[in-house]
Amino acid sequence: MQDTTRSRTALVTGASKGIGAATCLRLANKGYEVYGLSRSKPGEEFRGTWIRCDLSNRDQLASELEALLAKTPIDCLVNNAAWPFADNLDDLELDKLNASLDFHVRSTLQTMQAVIPGMKERRHGRVVNLLTTLLKGSTGRSAYRAAKAGVMSLTVSAALEYAEFGITVNGVAPGPTATDAFYDQNPPGSEGEAYFISQIPMSRMGRPDEVAAAIEFFLGEDASFITGQLIYADGGMSSGRRLG
């Protein structure tokens, strides 16, 4: 059973910026003990324990997870780290496809395999995997979509396999969100930004804290009977285009 005498612990990957940073701050403000994994150092607003780790390095990730779990149990896991580079099928290199699959699918599986055994022992746990609205269809992100489809498959499989242990596994799929990663490719006021906003029925970019709110919902006890599900936090983009 869950130990109610201590704060709930949460591990968030890709914790230094954007949605990951917003999630860490939101959870810390709600009383979670937060551990953040990322290559770059978080900003001053980060509240928790930061662990420098490159998720593309499986040995380094294994070592950091082992060291963390030797010190504390993890109640909640948020697989947020992402690498959404642009591509098209004609020019997509196999090595880059393999790198995307490894970064997203392998690292998600690796973190779940490390953290879930403890959750099974305690018969309680929460896992949220970040996906993407691009699962609904898009051009120019073939490798990223393929990798996130693999993460979605892992999410559903894990939800079914671990349900009997009181562990829920769900996904959150953000739409275009106002992060540094987005604006690095689509500067404010650019045609790229305008195009994405035109695809969103709410006619604006999402905020990282809005996506973090959906993540927090799945981690909370109010969602204890929800597993294997996906929330699109995308301003209606996944539902279709608005006419007129």
pLDDT exceeds cutoff 80 at 212: yes
| Start-to-end C-alpha separation, the chain | 53
The most distant pair of C-alpha atoms in the chain lies apart, rounded to whole Å, by 57
pLDDT exceeds cutoff 50 at 200: yes
pLDDT exceeds cutoff 70 at 244: no
The active-site residue out of 32, 144, 162, 232 is: 144
Q: What is the DSSP letter of 228?
A: S
Residue 160 placed within a domain: yes
Report pLDDT for 174: 94
- Nearest CA among 158, 164, 126, 163 for reference residue 8: 126
| Catalytic annotation present for 32 | no
Mean pLDDT, the chain, whole residue set: 90
Of 35-44, 51-60, 88-97, 208-217, the one with minimum mean pLDDT is 88-97
In this structure, the number of other CB atoms found within 10 A of the CB of residue 19 comes to: 30
- Nearest CA among 149, 132, 154, 174 for reference residue 97: 149
Residue 47 placed within a domain: yes
Residue 1 placed within a domain: no
Report pLDDT for 6: 60
Residue 42 placed within a domain: yes
Given pLDDT bands bounded at 50, 70 and 90, which one contains residue 213? Answer: very high
Of 19-28, 56-65, 94-103, 176-185, the one with minimum mean pLDDT is 176-185
pLDDT exceeds cutoff 80 at 69: yes
Q: Which residue has the tokens 């689509």?
A: 186
Residue 239 placed within a domain: no
Given pLDDT bands bounded at 50, 70 and 90, which one contains residue 59? Answer: very high
Percent of the chain with pLDDT over 70: 92
Please tell me the distance from the alpha carbon of residue 118 to that of residue 123, in angstroms, as a whole number: 8
The number of distinct structural domains making up the chain is: 1
Report pLDDT for 179: 84
Token couple for 201: 């029925």
Report pLDDT for 139: 60
pLDDT exceeds cutoff 60 at 194: yes
Token couple for 77: 């896991």
Report pLDDT for 65: 98
pLDDT exceeds cutoff 70 at 185: yes
Q: Strands 167-174, 125-130: parallel, antiparallel or unpaired by DSSP?
A: parallel
Residue 3 placed within a domain: no
Q: What is the pLDDT of residues 80-125, one digit of tens each?
A: 998 776 667 778 788 888 898 999 999 999 999 999 999 999 999 9
Domain of residue 213, residue span: 9-233
State the helix-helix crossing angle for 58-71 and 107-122, rounded to 10 degrees: 20
pLDDT exceeds cutoff 70 at 167: yes
Given pLDDT bands bounded at 50, 70 and 90, which one contains residue 5? Answer: very low
Q: Is 80 helix (H, G, I), strand (E, B) or coil?
A: coil
Residue 4 placed within a domain: no
CATH of residue 62: 3.40.50.720
pLDDT exceeds cutoff 60 at 67: yes
In this structure, the number of other CB atoms found within 10 A of the CB of residue 152 comes to: 17
Q: Give mean pLDDT, residues 20-31.
A: 97
The listed range with the strongest mean pLDDT (69-73, 94-98, 135-139, 193-197) is 69-73
Judging by beta carbons within 10 Å of its beta carbon (0-12, 13-18, 19+), is residue 181 exposed, middle or buried?
Answer: middle
Report pLDDT for 166: 98
Residue 119 placed within a domain: yes
- Nearest CA among 56, 45, 68, 72 for reference residue 14: 56
